[in-house]
Structure 1
Amino acid sequence: MSQQQDTVSRVTTGMRVVDSAGVEVGTVDLVQRGDPAAVTVQAPAPVDPGSSLDELIESAAVEEPDVPADLAARLLRDGYLKVSTDLVRTGAVYVLADRIAAVHDGAVRLTVPATELPAEE
């Protein structure tokens, strides 16, 4: 198990999340451990001329994480947290496993400011 996976495995839903500046981001809604085989970028398969790339992505998309496909692939591979927050209009941000500095005293501390966290779409 990688260091990132070990860190993610210590996070539980409901934990407070604090960014690198000490700003309260919100609370953990979802903990997703990484799966290195989850989504790999492959050469595009021949496309049915009647369907757009967006339709293909939507048909293959899972409900979480609700972010652009390239970021979703990275989140699924590396692991992530979904955090409920009042800081963005959509009410949730995603934290890549490698952005977690520490899990201590029931709180998750991040290595980046909240403004760098991708918001749910």
Structure 2
Amino acid sequence: MSQQDTEQQATISRVTTGMRVVDSTGADVGTVDLVQRGDPNAVTVQGTPNADPGSSLDELIESTAVEEPEVPADLAARLLHSGYLKVSTDLVPTGAVYVLADRIAAVADGELRLTVPAADLPSEE
């Protein structure tokens, strides 16, 4: 793991759900809904191919559950590799955006500041 990756993981480990998120312009983005540390071995989003929902309700719910992150596969691989946050927001119709770990500028006083404007954040599909 590189020095940059180590620093990103240390930063993301200080983020908690419910934390306020502010973009690089100082605009309020929303609140952290999910924190996912990076996995340097992650290369793809693993689904359950040929899932058979079976007969129980639990199996049916599990087979239809959407795995995070809900973005195109190439972006999902980057998010899983570097680590990411899912932020609940009113800025996009889907109600959530994703933040790559390397887009976190600072975490202090219960607030997370980004290095980019909110418009540059990929939204949930």
Q: TM-score, normalised by structure 2?
A: 0.79
SS in structure 1 of the partner of residue 94 of structure 2: coil
What's the % identity of the aligned pairs? 78
SS in structure 2 of the partner of residue 2 of structure 1: helix
> 1:79 is aligned with what amino acid?
G
Structure-1 separation of matches of 2:97 and 2:49: 23
- Pairing 1:4–2:8 present: yes
Cα pair distance change 1:116/1:58, threshold 3 Å: farther
- Pairing 1:25–2:29 present: yes
Structure-2 separation of matches of 1:104 and 1:25: 16
- RMSD across aligned positions (CA): 2.0
Structure-1 separation of matches of 2:82 and 2:37: 7
Quote how far apart the aligned CAs of 1:59 are.
Answer: 4.0
User: How many pairs align?
Assistant: 105
- Pairing 1:35–2:39 present: yes
Q: Which of 86, 111, 118 is equivalent to 1:114?
A: 118
Aligned to 2:80: 76
Question: Which sections of structure 1, spanning at least 5 residues, go unmatched?
Answer: 41-56
Quote how far apart the aligned CAs of 1:89 are.
Answer: 0.2
Question: Which sections of structure 2, spanning at least 5 residues, go unmatched?
Answer: 51-65
Cα pair distance change 1:59/1:86, threshold 3 Å: farther
SS in structure 1 of the partner of residue 85 of structure 2: strand
SS in structure 1 of the partner of residue 113 of structure 2: strand
SS in structure 1 of the partner of residue 86 of structure 2: strand
Matches within 5 A, 1:53-68: 59=49, 63-68=67-72
Q: Per-residue displacement from partner, 1:19-63 (whole Å, max 9, x unpaired)?
A: 0000000000000000000116xxxxxxxxxxxxxxxx7849x61
